[in-house]
Amino acid sequence: MSATEGSVRDMLAANLKRVRTQRGLSLSELSRRSRIGKATLSQLEQGTGNPTIETVFSLARVLEVPISDLVDRPPSREVTVVRAADVEVLSGKGVDLRPLRRIESGDAVFEVYDQQVRADGTQDSLGHTGTEHTIVQTGRLGVRVDGREVELGPGDYIAFDAAMPHSYTALDGPVRSVLLLHYRAEQRLHLSAPAPGDCRPDTAPRPSPEAP
């Protein structure tokens, strides 16, 4: 676990009671199933206990949840709204991107972009980290991945290993689409130095995979 002891304790306290309640288990029943003392479980839920790796693994197994569900921040219950006018546009040779949200869940990181492919050029990439997902909303989009060409229309979806060379071309006017990048959290360490010729603008607001 990459978090500090204190943060792991705090996250476990916030998540354990929530997950236990969702499963309909009392402290006594969870204690019986996990073979962890009821007093210890109570301390963990209050944030005063000192969880060990073995304890967290045992609780995750009994509660039938990933370990990350116990030691990561609980999902927000708030409604998140991102206004297009409030997001800076990242422009490349043929694409305008608006970064809308980065979502982290366990070892997985997802970056969501509003993507507009302009009619005046083709956006090329030599390849970058992650898996790329694109859903076309309006227009006709030509996608070339490692020499293979695909034409997409409204509602069509494509996914591919973004390490392969790829390009986007608007075939008959501007194309509006949603771009989702998916990569492992550990790969963030290698994202601050984009490969020469990639299609992500150099003025990105934070280290992230090149897009698209």
pLDDT per residue over 23-59, tens digit each?
999 999 999 999 999 999 999 999 888 888 788 888 9
Q: Is 44 helix (H, G, I), strand (E, B) or coil?
A: helix
Contact 13, 46 (CB under 8 A): yes
The more confident residue out of 194 and 44 is: 44
Residue 91, both tokens: 């422009």
The more confident residue out of 199 and 161 is: 161
pLDDT of residue 210: 44
Residue type, 118: R
171 pLDDT higher than 50: yes
203 pLDDT higher than 60: no
Q: Lowest mean pLDDT of 65-79, 107-121, 133-147, 163-177, name the range.
A: 65-79
Contact 46, 24 (CB under 8 A): no
Share of the chain above pLDDT 90, in %: 42
For the entire predicted model, the pTM comes to 0.59
Contact 200, 126 (CB under 8 A): no
Q: CB neighbours (10 Å) of residue 193?
A: 7
Residue 147, both tokens: 């020499």
The more confident residue out of 60 and 212 is: 60
- As a whole number, mean pLDDT of residues 76-95 equals 83
The more confident residue out of 68 and 22 is: 22
181 phi/psi in degrees, rounded to 5? -105, 135
* DSSP E strands, 131-200: 131-138, 141-145, 148-152, 157-161, 166-170, 175-184
- As a whole number, mean pLDDT of residues 179-190 equals 73
